[in-house]
A and B are shown apart, each in its own frame.
Chain A
């Protein structure tokens, strides 16, 4: 009782503080509208902005030149370059050692099918084989293999590095403590921020792309490894100790094999993030599917973009399903007397397929490579069709109408309003929100983070970024949450929509630009549109999950009380599902911050565009300042919402 009342007392003071802050913010804003607010209270004067970028540049230069990091990384680059050349040769016949490639497309597709079969039966075999057959037939084999050749280097490296850090963080508490904050910043840092350092330290092209990809994919691997190792059952560990294992034996024979499941989930995430990033590294001149997609979208060739998009999606789904199947696959014993060939039938058939198709391609060239003009690409026709479709009066007036209403009535006024709020008022509002939902600690964090943004000198662009995110997520909520609520009412539809969400989440984010551009052209509406689709996925998904996991005895109690469906939903299910939905909301915000930066490609006025601009130069300091601004905003939301969700879960007795 005492603890409870103390908690309520604290909540009341927090609420009061929030109200107070909000009131001051409103007064400041009103004064601004009445045009009596002094300018220095509206925006921090430029003279007061510390030159963070210049300071960072000094630090970078010191590390780069004086500490000799550049020499080291350039040395490292050479090694990586050699490996990439080798895989490049094997996958798409780059003229380098070992001069064996390119592998015939039939062989690659065959091996994918064999691996698919051994992991998940005929369906995965069909998916794996089919993906590569499609890629070849549609005439994208070479660019797809360029992407793959980087992926097969980046993913294993990210895995090894992530695993090592994960083990270290599990073993030594101080490593864990040091790594955690870095990881959460890394996970919210916009990808553009990864690209420039990669270029500076690792040269433009595949090596920088691979490096950025690796760094980007490491964090979840670290987290999953640590998690998996912590979950190993106590008695299994003790059995290892009693068997007299040395420390290394413990790790090698007990911990890592027992944590296999979680580690493989980490592998799945590494692969998916690698794919997503490899596509995005097109921005720093990495050839492959991403570069092609970028070029096609840039010149508004939507048919070709669509074809490439499908290839990327197929690849993503294949890689995802296969690695997930691997993660859940359990060892099964063979019967006594099974021959060596049967025990290793996957390996044997894969070898047979490689040898067989390689020989075949010597006789039938088309089984080796599909030349230009032999493919089935319908890109041009599709382009024309889409252009024609968009030009049809009905369609045009609808998309134009949506664009007009959104822009003129919703988006622009909202943006202008956000920009008109004085900086201190905005910070107070954010802090009020943080205090009200999270508590004092969260309020302080919000104040520091947004204060830093105000001092960064990029306030206006940050606010535009924030506005895009909030606008898109709000609309996504209007669409996604009702969809989730509706789907959760039936088993069949919740299953279907969940599968759809799952699949959509594996798509590299770049893909979401295609439909948005298709519908709205290269406009601000398209930006909001792409974020909207991307952010809807987690919202819908967690709404369904939240509603479906409401304990049955609670809904039964409502049934017995004679509640109608609607009453049950509003009074029982939704309140209980709210914490889970909040997690979905949080993810939607994180996704939106990510997407808004990518959408800079369409030409927005937010931080993304400035970030993209830095890529052309060597403005490392500015690049980082911009990236950190995005990261700070995302982290503020993350900290506040997650705190609220866990508090609420505890209060509801769900945790």
Chain B
């Protein structure tokens, strides 16, 4: 994608919970399984993960409950100290950052939305949202202004002076989102940010989120349990199991070429025609003939054309430039679910 250095780059990171994680990990044979570690009283929250997140990319992490999604994201923001491996964020090795620099990094670059919101109970909506700004030392007037702006963005006007316990779960979640938005972070961690929202607002927030992303091009790590949401938003999806990443790839690849049996099971019920795009099917060494289709078209959208057409290979172009051609038979397989 981009040729710049990745914003987050981690190599072989481990996060082990237990009495003496470092000592245990050092002595442990390398191919120890998750269950074997559990028997020794240690939990592998994150297990040998290597991953890059590029600038402006949205990485979605999925996996069953307890698979280590939140733990991985906490390692990225150094809310957890990792047990071994290296993490670079914005070009700095965050494990070796001094406290002062870490605070500076968080203040200036990072935002996080928490799974169970993490609102300060004694502060009103407005004060909660202005909190990171206050910690940065912004003056009262500007931070109020900015907080009101984001409150409007998440649709909480009129509730500025409410306290968290006076809000519904969904409203609290939006306060959490607004709080992390207020500082306009470059790197944004979202741990199931829309889980407590009703479908309508959820859709609205997703749209708003996509619009913002087009505009601002943040680097985002997003956790969700909802595959549809992942497909709508993701540039890449990482699927985790027992602390390890099973596969990290574009949505097309995940559904078309699952790397493991686990990933295949995971994506079994997904309507592939809505996921797979022309770009994902395009074979670069083919050219095809006739009018090209745009790479961003899903197979579902092309359904009528695919059935009516007679060409074996249909050219695919991205932003007007040809990138290859897709095999119509293969596309039809996806459409009809024969894959």
A interface list, Cβ under 8 A from B:
233, 235-236, 238-246, 249, 253-254, 257-258, 260, 330-334, 336
Q: Give the residues from 163 to 212 in chain B that come closer than 8 angstroms, CB to CB, to chain A.
A: 163, 165-166, 176, 179-180
Whole-angstrom distance between the alpha carbons of A48 and B120 in the complex?
Answer: 62
Give how many B residues have a beta carbon under 8 Å from the other chain's beta carbons.
35
Is B318 in the interface zone, CB < 8 Å from A? no
Known: A239-B114, A241-B79. A258 touches B161 (CB 8 A): no
Give a binary string over B137-179; 1 marks a CB under 8 Å from any A CB, 0 the rest.
0000000000000000000000001110110000000001001
Known: A233-B118, A253-B135, A257-B122. 6 other contacts (CB 8 A): A235-B114, A235-B115, A239-B118, A241-B79, A245-B103, A333-B161
Whole-angstrom distance between the alpha carbons of A257 and B119 in the complex?
Answer: 12
Tell me the minimal C-beta distance from B134 to chain A in angstroms.
8
Q: Give the residues from 32 to 89 in chain B that come closer than 8 angstroms, CB to CB, to chain A.
A: 74, 77, 79
Is B225 in the interface zone, CB < 8 Å from A? no
Known: A244-B135, A253-B131, A333-B166. A238 touches B74 (CB 8 A): yes
Enumerate 7 A-B pairs (CB-CB under 8 Å) in ascending A order. Answer: A238-B114, A239-B112, A241-B106, A242-B110, A243-B106, A243-B107, A260-B122
Asked whether, in the complex, the Cβ of B163 is within 8 Å of the Cβ of A332, the reply is yes
Asked whether, in the complex, the Cβ of B114 is within 8 Å of the Cβ of A243, the reply is no
Known: A245-B103, A253-B131. A330 touches B120 (CB 8 A): no
Is B279 in the interface zone, CB < 8 Å from A? no
Is B124 in the interface zone, CB < 8 Å from A? yes
Asked whether, in the complex, the Cβ of A333 is within 8 Å of the Cβ of B131, the reply is no
Q: Which 6 A-B pairs have the closest CB atoms?
A: A244-B107, A235-B118, A239-B118, A243-B132, A333-B161, A257-B122
Asked whether, in the complex, the Cβ of A244 is within 8 Å of the Cβ of B106, the reply is yes
Asked whether, in the complex, the Cβ of A242 is within 8 Å of the Cβ of B122, the reply is no
Asked whether, in the complex, the Cβ of A242 is within 8 Å of the Cβ of B163, the reply is no
Is B116 in the interface zone, CB < 8 Å from A? yes
Asked whether, in the complex, the Cβ of A238 is within 8 Å of the Cβ of B121, the reply is no
Q: Give the residues from 93 to 116 in chain B that come closer than 8 angstroms, CB to CB, to chain A.
A: 103-104, 106-108, 110-112, 114-116
Whole-angstrom distance between the alpha carbons of A240 and B166 in the complex?
Answer: 21
Known: A238-B79, A239-B118. A331 touches B163 (CB 8 A): yes
Tell me the minimal C-beta distance from A529 to chain B in angstroms.
47
What residues of A have a CB within 8 angstroms of the CB of B135 in the complex? 243-246, 249, 253
Whole-angstrom distance between the alpha carbons of A244 and B77 in the complex?
Answer: 11
What residues of A have a CB within 8 angstroms of the CB of B14 in the complex? none
Whole-angstrom distance between the alpha carbons of A245 and B123 in the complex?
Answer: 16
- The residue on A at minimum CB distance from B133 is A243
Whole-angstrom distance between the alpha carbons of A336 and B123 in the complex?
Answer: 17
Asked whether, in the complex, the Cβ of A236 is within 8 Å of the Cβ of B136, the reply is no
Asked whether, in the complex, the Cβ of A333 is within 8 Å of the Cβ of B124, the reply is yes
- The residue on A at minimum CB distance from B128 is A239
Known: A235-B115, A238-B118, A239-B118. A333 touches B162 (CB 8 A): yes
What residues of B have a CB within 8 angstroms of the CB of A238 in the complex? 74, 79, 112, 114, 118
What residues of B have a CB within 8 angstroms of the CB of A249 in the complex? 135
Asked whether, in the complex, the Cβ of B74 is within 8 Å of the Cβ of A235, the reply is no
Most chain A CB within a 10 A radius of its CB, from B106, B114, B135, B180 = B135
Tell me the minimal C-beta distance from B158 to chain A in angstroms.
8
For chains A and B in complex, what number of residue pairs have CB atoms within 8 angstroms?
Answer: 81
- The residue on B at minimum CB distance from A243 is B132
Is B222 in the interface zone, CB < 8 Å from A? no
What residues of B have a CB within 8 angstroms of the CB of A242 in the complex? 77, 79, 106, 110-112, 132, 180
Whole-angstrom distance between the alpha carbons of A586 and B132 in the complex?
Answer: 48
Whole-angstrom distance between the alpha carbons of A170 and B77 in the complex?
Answer: 25
Tell me the minimal C-beta distance from A162 to chain B in angstroms.
21
Is B117 in the interface zone, CB < 8 Å from A? yes
Whole-angstrom distance between the alpha carbons of A249 and B176 in the complex?
Answer: 19
Tell me the minimal C-beta distance from B260 to chain A in angstroms.
32
- The residue on B at minimum CB distance from A241 is B79
Asked whether, in the complex, the Cβ of B103 is within 8 Å of the Cβ of A244, the reply is yes
Asked whether, in the complex, the Cβ of B162 is within 8 Å of the Cβ of A244, the reply is no
Whole-angstrom distance between the alpha carbons of A238 and B113 in the complex?
Answer: 10
Tell me the minimal C-beta distance from B296 to chain A in angstroms.
34
Most chain B CB within a 10 A radius of its CB, from A246, A333, A334 = A333
Tell me the minimal C-beta distance from A253 to chain B in angstroms.
7
What residues of A have a CB within 8 angstroms of the CB of B79 in the complex? 238, 241-242
What residues of A have a CB within 8 angstroms of the CB of B77 in the complex? 242
Asked whether, in the complex, the Cβ of A333 is within 8 Å of the Cβ of B163, the reply is yes
Tell me the minimal C-beta distance from B217 to chain A in angstroms.
21
Whole-angstrom distance between the alpha carbons of A237 and B103 in the complex?
Answer: 14
Asked whether, in the complex, the Cβ of B163 is within 8 Å of the Cβ of A330, the reply is yes
Whole-angstrom distance between the alpha carbons of A350 and B134 in the complex?
Answer: 33
- The residue on A at minimum CB distance from B126 is A333
Q: Give the residues from 11 to 36 in chain B that come closer than 8 angstroms, CB to CB, to chain A.
A: none
Asked whether, in the complex, the Cβ of B117 is within 8 Å of the Cβ of A235, the reply is yes
What residues of B have a CB within 8 angstroms of the CB of A334 in the complex? 161
Whole-angstrom distance between the alpha carbons of A246 and B135 in the complex?
Answer: 8
Tell me the minimal C-beta distance from B263 to chain A in angstroms.
30
- The residue on B at minimum CB distance from A338 is B161
Whole-angstrom distance between the alpha carbons of A39 and B50 in the complex?
Answer: 80
What residues of A have a CB within 8 angstroms of the CB of B124 in the complex? 331, 333
Asked whether, in the complex, the Cβ of A236 is within 8 Å of the Cβ of B120, the reply is yes
Asked whether, in the complex, the Cβ of A258 is within 8 Å of the Cβ of B122, the reply is yes
Whole-angstrom distance between the alpha carbons of A423 and B295 in the complex?
Answer: 95
What residues of B have a CB within 8 angstroms of the CB of A331 in the complex? 122, 124, 163
What residues of B have a CB within 8 angstroms of the CB of A260 in the complex? 122
Asked whether, in the complex, the Cβ of A236 is within 8 Å of the Cβ of B163, the reply is no
Q: Give the residues from 243 to 276 in chain B that come closer than 8 angstroms, CB to CB, to chain A.
A: none
Whole-angstrom distance between the alpha carbons of A3 and B162 in the complex?
Answer: 53
- The residue on A at minimum CB distance from B180 is A242
- The residue on A at minimum CB distance from B124 is A333
What residues of A have a CB within 8 angstroms of the CB of B107 in the complex? 243-244
What residues of B have a CB within 8 angstroms of the CB of A333 in the complex? 124, 161-163, 166
Asked whether, in the complex, the Cβ of B120 is within 8 Å of the Cβ of A258, the reply is yes
What residues of A have a CB within 8 angstroms of the CB of B115 in the complex? 235
Asked whether, in the complex, the Cβ of A244 is within 8 Å of the Cβ of B121, the reply is no
Tell me the minimal C-beta distance from A450 to chain B in angstroms.
37
